[in-house]
């Protein structure tokens, strides 16, 4: 048996034993007769169930990685006392996207975007964890945007998984890393996650980091958020170009992600709840579909050879190059969520090397 297939099967066995193999469906909108407060409570409960499922899967892959490959997929973190961690509240800013067309490249306009009203009570701030090197000033900063299908992945799951990746980047690259617990669909639809990513950049700038020393990194749906934020940042007066963009297994072609899904109807419902009246093929929502993207920072796109969820990374890189920018593409063996030994280390190490390099070029 292929070792990767064996590990994926073992993870599914663990999920089945925990009754998490088929988690509850996402209630993308209130049911008939259901009040918004009750719906919000149901979303929160099911989100926690899906977060638990993801964490169980990650832990199972680590536990049984040795059985199939000889070592766990995830790298060990830095030694104690080398990373300082603190939590802050970041003000939200929902002024973006701009009204009117968005220029993707000279002579390449995209249709105007429509912000979708939130169904949740208005939020003034969101939580963000700051990870800093203890032994000296940072050479730059990275905004890490978690994945989770636009609707999960925050909270306790972000703390469990995001902290490890952030600490790795701090240790290897000597950079400050922030992990925003950004607002999620369906209660906070587009453009809230993207607005929060830009707010995280703005917060770092207020701490003294120039935009040319800030990198946006995102995984899966977080990669979509990072790409959209980089595109929209060019429309903000006074918003200087960023140092770099790192997209890991990014979901950049949403119509194609629906097509390859094992449950296309549910995937379409969730993405439509996030996008509202904006078409999923819009090149800000699906940046891989843009013919060209100008003015973006140097980009690194990481792909998985057996990715069963996300699409569009290579096409996005081609659009960046068509717009006159620089984009690197690397492919690593694995599925969207499970990798062979050393692959996670290689991915993370590549992120650290790229981020350190583009920040040093400022």
- Tell how strand 83-91 and strand 125-133 pair up: antiparallel
Token reading at 229: 């934020």
What sign has the CA pseudo-torsion 130, 133, 137, 142? negative
Query: Which tokens hold the place of 231?
Result: 């595109």
> CB of 47 within 8 A of CB of 5?
no
Token pair 């259901």 is found at 34
Residue 69: pLDDT band (50, 70, 90) is: confident
Segment 266-316, tens digit of pLDDT: 999 999 999 999 999 999 999 999 999 999 999 999 999 999 999 999 999
CB neighbours (10 Å) of residue 161? 20
Three-state DSSP class for 184?
A: coil
Give the per-residue pLDDT at 62.
83
Counting residues of the chain whose pLDDT is more than 70, the rounded percentage is: 96
Which tokens in the block code for residue 53? 């499922």
Tokens of 290: 């843009």
Report pLDDT digits (tens) over 231-264: 999 988 888 899 999 999 999 999 999 999 989 9
Tokens matching residue 128: 């963000």
Contacts of 295 (CB under 8 A, 6+ apart): 105, 234, 241, 323, 325
- Model-level pTM? 0.96
Structural domain boundaries in the chain:
3-69, 83-360
User: Buried (b) or exposed (e) across 191-212, using 16+ Cβ within 10 A?
Assistant: bbbbbbbbbbbbbbbeeebebb
In this structure, the dihedral spanned by the alpha carbons of residues 17, 20, 21 and 27, taken in order and rounded to 10 degrees, is 160
Question: Can you tell me the mean pLDDT for 182-196?
Answer: 96
Q: Are 187 and 161 in contact (CB under 8 A)?
A: no
Instruction: Return d(Cα 135, Cα 158) in angstroms, integer.
Output: 25
Nearest to 162 by CA among 258, 58, 22: 58
Answer yes or no: are the C-beta atoms of 18 and 60 closer than 8 Å.
Answer: no
Chain segment 1-36, per-residue pLDDT in tens: 788 899 899 999 999 999 999 999 999 999 999 999
14, 15, 19, 20: CA torsion to nearest 10: 160
Contact 250, 220 (CB under 8 A): yes
Please confirm whether the linkage preceding 325 is cis (ω < 30° from 0): no
Exposed, middle or buried by CB within 10 Å (0-12, 13-18, 19+), for 328? middle
Average pLDDT estimate for 329-356:
91
Burial class (CB in 10 A: 0-12, 13-18, 19+), 236: middle
For residues 199 and 138, give the distance between their C-alpha atoms in angstroms, rounded to a whole number: 20
pLDDT at residue number 237: 85
- CATH 3.30.450.20 assigned to 83-360: no
Mean of per-residue pLDDT scores for the chain: 93
Q: What tokens does 275 get?
A: 């996008």
Residue 337's contacts (CB-CB under 8 Å, 6 or more residues apart) are 54, 57, 58, 61, 309
Q: Which residue in 116, 165, 171, 123 sits closest to 144, CA to CA?
A: 165
pLDDT band at 72 (very low <50, low <70, confident <90, very high): low
């Amino acid at each position: 048996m292929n070792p990767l297939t064996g590990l994926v099967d073992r993870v599914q066995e663990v999920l089945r034993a925990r009754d998490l193999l088929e988690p509850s469906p996402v209630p993308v909108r209130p049911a008939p007769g259901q009040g918004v407060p009750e719906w919000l409570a149901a979303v929160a409960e099911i989100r926690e169930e899906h977060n638990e499922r993801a964490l169980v899967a990650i832990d199972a892959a680590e536990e049984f990685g040795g059985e199939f490959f000889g070592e766990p997929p995830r790298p060990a973190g830095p030694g104690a006392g080398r990373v300082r961690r603190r939590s802050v509240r970041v003000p939200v800013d929902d002024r973006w996207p701009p009204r009117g067309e968005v220029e993707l490249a000279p002579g390449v306009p995209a249709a105007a975007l429509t912000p979708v009203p939130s169904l949740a009570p208005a939020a003034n701030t969101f939580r963000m964890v700051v990870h800093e090197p203890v032994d000296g000033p940072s050479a730059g900063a990275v905004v890490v945007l978690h994945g989770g299908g636009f609707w999960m992945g925050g909270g306790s799951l972000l703390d469990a998984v995001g902290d490890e990746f952030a600490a790795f980047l701090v240790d290897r690259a000597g950079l400050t890393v922030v992990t925003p617990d950004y607002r999620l669909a369906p209660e906070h639809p587009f453009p809230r996650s993207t607005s929060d990513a830009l707010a995280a950049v703005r917060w770092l700038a207020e701490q003294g980091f120039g935009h040319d020393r800030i990198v946006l990194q995102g995984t899966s749906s977080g990669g979509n958020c990072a790409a959209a934020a980089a595109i929209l940042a060019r429309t903000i007066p006074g918003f200087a170009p960023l140092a770099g963009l790192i997209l890991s297994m990014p979901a950049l072609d949403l119509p194609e992600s629906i097509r390859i899904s094992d449950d296309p109807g549910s995937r379409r419902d969730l993405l439509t709840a996030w996008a509202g009246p904006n078409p999923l093929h819009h090149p800000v929502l699906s940046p891989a579909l843009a013919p060209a993207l100008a003015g973006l920072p140097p980009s690194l796109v990481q792909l998985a050879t057996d990715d069963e969820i996300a699409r569009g990374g290579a096409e996005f890189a081609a659009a960046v190059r068509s717009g006159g920018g620089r984009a690197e593409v690397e492919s690593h063996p694995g599925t969207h969520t499970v990798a062979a030994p050393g692959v996670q280390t290689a991915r993370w190490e590549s992120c650290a090397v790229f981020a350190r390099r583009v920040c040093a070029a400022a």
